[in-house]
Amino acid sequence: MQVKRKQLATFLATIFVVNLVVMGGGAWLSYANSPDIPDTIVGPDGETIATGEDVRDGKAVFQENGLMNQGSVLGRGSYYDTDYTANALELKTEYMREYYAQERHGENYTVLNATTQAGIDERVRQELQSSEYGSQVQYSAAEVYAHEQVREDYVERYHEGDRERGIPEGQVPSAEEAEQFADFALWTAWISHTDRPGSSVSFTNDWPYSPAAGNDAGGAIMTWSVIALVLLVGGAGIAIWLYQSVEIPEPESRNVSIPHPKEIDLTPSQLLSTRFVFIGALLFVAQTFLGGLLAHYYVERDGFFGLSEAIGFDILQWLPWSITRAWHVDLGILWIATMWLGAGLFLAPLLTGREPPKQALYVKGLLGALLVIVVGGLAGIWLGTNNFFGDQLWWLLGNEGLEYLEIGRVWQVGLLVGFVGWTALVARGFKPLLDREPRYGLAHMIVYAGGSIGLLFMAGFLYTPKTNIVVTEFWRWWVVHMWVEGVFEFFILVVIALTLVSMNLLSKKAAEKAVIFQSALVMGSGIIGVSHHYWWAGLPEVWLPIGSVFSTLEFIPLLFILYEALGQYRAMDSAGKDFPYRMAFYFIVASSVWNFFGAGVIGFFINLPIISYYETGTYLTVAHAHGAMFGAFGLLAMGMAVYILRLTTSEARWSDRRLRWSFWCCNVGLALMIFLSLLPIGFLQLEVGFTQGYAASRALEFYEGGLVQTLFWLRMPGDTLLILGAVIFAWDVAAKLLFQRKATAEETRDHVIADRLVPDRGSVEPVSDDD
């Protein structure tokens, strides 16, 4: 079946618009149906227990003090500490049981016989399940007692510190703020067991699983899980039929001339773009070292191999988990994005043969801005979490305190300006192609990808610390998930296609057709697929069926990306032993393999509603995140970096040896980490969550179990190899930059590759509508 590029482009644009319409309608529904914070919570005698302002202030305390990187709320955040929603609900039920045991029997609950305990259990369960939504929440005497006890626990734990849990003294600076944080956690617990108006399930679809509170997976969760499995089989069949029907040429290296690096002229801006690679490599090293510290915190929560006693440095107080994890997560995004920025700037002159006036100067400016944002943002996280700022400044200059969006709002604005500036520079560089090709050409595609990154990042500005956490989570996941499942996948496809074209392995028109088709598959499922993060977060019930369907379909495009990667590998292999870009291709193909396994296989498994209900916020999610983020996007960034280095390093000084070591260290290390530690711990958590309740799967007692501790130690081989791979990679980058080639092309001059890509420099390239 012959399909024209213009038809595919129209299809892609239609899908993008439909996605935005659906998500826009979802935004309206989410605002209209989010659980309001009550004006007051009162006891049986009408006395005020807490106010809506206490809850909102508690959310600000939660963000300012980095508690989303200490534990999680509504299943979202870090997995080191408890989930505050599940923990508050569990504590509430326990204290209510104790209240009734003392009131009715004058004994502790634990010493009562099973029959008496069962009666109290049923009373507590019915009381929690009969809660009613309204501007004023009426507590029973038992709930008042439980609320006060949870406040005391949170003051002891988060203000006074709990080194056994890895919580430093003063994590929350005052007892009053710790009580407000408890009010916030208890409100999220309240919406988890209180039915929505006109519904038989709670705002969180009865998550977390808590038999004591009466929360359990409902029939809809099982129904949509079965539908998701059926859709996977049917959707895969339809997609494969389409893929086979639409003629998409594969890379083919036979009978083509693959340009050698020494044949390619380099421009000043291209040489400057290698500085992005170097900065990215250093950030990569820092991230892996912090990852090693985080892994060790699970086995020694208040120290690091006894160094605290040996040298008197209290690492828990100065570098607590919350700050370390925030840096680790942000550095993971920053080093990958930095290398991608460099790749985009490098490819433009490579494909057009032109260096726009003052492009090198503007690249220097972007590089300087990047350094300011990185240093300022990371420093702001430490200063903000340690309460060096007051009032509004903590979230403007310090840490906004939300997972993946930790840096202060000012630094986020700087990132947005940087994305816009990068897109403008890429557009300047690609101008010769932009002028000659249709609006759905490859040059346009990379500009669209850059613009989409900035557009979706703006969703992170639609809330403040006082905004309802449910609405906050809606917009936060627009940034986090739509980047990963939509824009980043789109960017991957375009960059790989541009790379194949620059190597002369694929014609530009064939690459455009392949990119448009695969992008349509990715965006057709990925953007709306963000809604699988909304099931348990207090958002409307409609997201459960929508998320189930589209989260399932997200898996299908990854099959074709893997298929294309293997096609690229075959093309490389058939190019013979002299193929100069072999090492870059190893990284790129490995990224597609991990994208399939980490994002696809594990992602599909944990995104089934019935699995997600019990596992969300466990180590299965950690395995998914590492396989998808580093395995897919990180290795791709390294592959693009290697390609850039191959073109810019002096031929006499080029060697693959260190890169091979780095490649295998990273891939073997990641595999060992996931299969020896992360997945086994995750499956154990899933079993505990299913049999004992979600709070038990996140409890300190679970993490300190003998088998789990052994599995934590089994992270060491994989972590060590990953750290070693990062260090070797950075070492190789630095060594190659010492022997960089000189610029041989000046501003606005053409060079060799332009003869292939823009055949007629004096006229507009003819575009046929029948290709």
Q: What is the pLDDT of residues 471-481, one digit of tens each?
A: 999 999 988 87
pLDDT at 7 (0 to 100): 75
**Of 298, 305, 261, 281, the residue nearest 654 (C-alpha):** 261
Q: Which three-class secondary structure string do you get for 186-214?
A: HHHHHHHHCECCCCCCECCCCCCCEHHHC
Rounded mean pLDDT of 695-718? 95
E strand or H helix at 668 = helix 657-672
At 752 the pLDDT is: 41
Q: In angstroms, what is the C-alpha Rg of the chain? A: 27
Instruction: For the chain, give the percent of residues with pLDDT over 70.
Output: 89
In angstroms, rounded to a whole number, what is the distance separating the alpha carbons of residues 352 and 756? 9
Distance CA 221, CA 608 (A): 9
Tens digits of per-residue pLDDT, 259-275?
Answer: 778 888 889 999 999 99
> What per-residue confidence (pLDDT) applies to 718?
95
DSSP per-residue codes, 718-766: HHHHHHHHHHHHHHHHHHHHTTBPPP---TT---TTHHHHSS-TTSPPP
Q: How far is CA 44 from the centre of its chain?
A: 44
Summarised one tens digit per residue, pLDDT across range 186-236 is 999 999 999 999 888 999 999 999 999 999 998 889 998 888 888 877 777
- Look up residue 387 and give its two tokens: 């309460």
**Cβ atoms 294, 325 nearer than 8 A:** yes
SS3 554: coil
Q: What is the pLDDT of residue 753?
A: 42
Q: What is the reported pLDDT for 490?
A: 75
Burial of 181 (0-12, 13-18, 19+ CB in 10 A): buried
Lowest mean per-residue pLDDT among 70-79, 389-398, 407-416, 468-477 = 389-398
pLDDT tier at 708, thresholds 50, 70, 90: very high
- pLDDT tens digits, 618-648: 999 999 999 988 887 899 899 999 999 999 9
When the pLDDT of each residue in the chain is averaged and rounded to a whole number, the result is 87
Residue-level length of the chain: 771
- Using pLDDT thresholds of 50, 70 and 90, give the confidence band for residue 758: very low
pLDDT band at 762 (very low <50, low <70, confident <90, very high): very low
CA 136 to chain centre: 37
Burial (Cβ within 10 Å: 0-12, 13-18, ≥19) of residue 300: middle
Residues 455, 450: Cα–Cα separation, whole Å = 9
Q: What is the pLDDT of residue 228?
A: 84
> Which amino acid, one-letter code, is at 66?
G
pLDDT at 375: 94
Whether the predicted pLDDT of 517 surpasses 80: no
Angle between helical axes of 706-713 and 715-737 (0-180°, round to 10) = 20
Segment 492-521 mean pLDDT: 75
* 277 against 489, higher pLDDT: 277
pLDDT for the residue 569:
66
Per-residue pLDDT for 175 more than 60? yes
User: Which amino acid, one-letter code, is at 146?
Assistant: A
Question: Average pLDDT in the 436-440 region?
Answer: 81
Mean pLDDT of 367-380: 94
Q: What is the mean pLDDT of residues 731-760?
A: 67
- Distance separating alpha carbons of residues 615 and 628, to the nearest angstrom: 18
pLDDT value for 250: 57
pLDDT range class, residue 671, cuts 50, 70, 90: very high
Q: What is the mean pLDDT of residues 527-549?
A: 87
Average pLDDT in the 363-388 region?
93
d(CA 529, CA 514): 22
Lowest model confidence (mean pLDDT) among 53-62, 472-481, 701-710: 472-481
pLDDT at 555: 67
**368 Cβ contact partners less than 8 Å away, ≥ 6 residues apart:** none
With beta carbons less than 8 A apart as the criterion, state whether 175 and 159 touch: yes
Q: How confident is the model at residue 766 (pLDDT cuts 50, 70, 90)?
A: very low
Is the CB of residue 508 less than 8 Å from the CB of residue 558?
no
pLDDT at 251: 59
Q: What tokens were used for 73? A: 């709320």
SS3 40: strand
pLDDT over 50 at 542, yes or no: yes
pLDDT for 495? 79
Instruction: Name residue 136's beta-bridge partners.
Output: 40
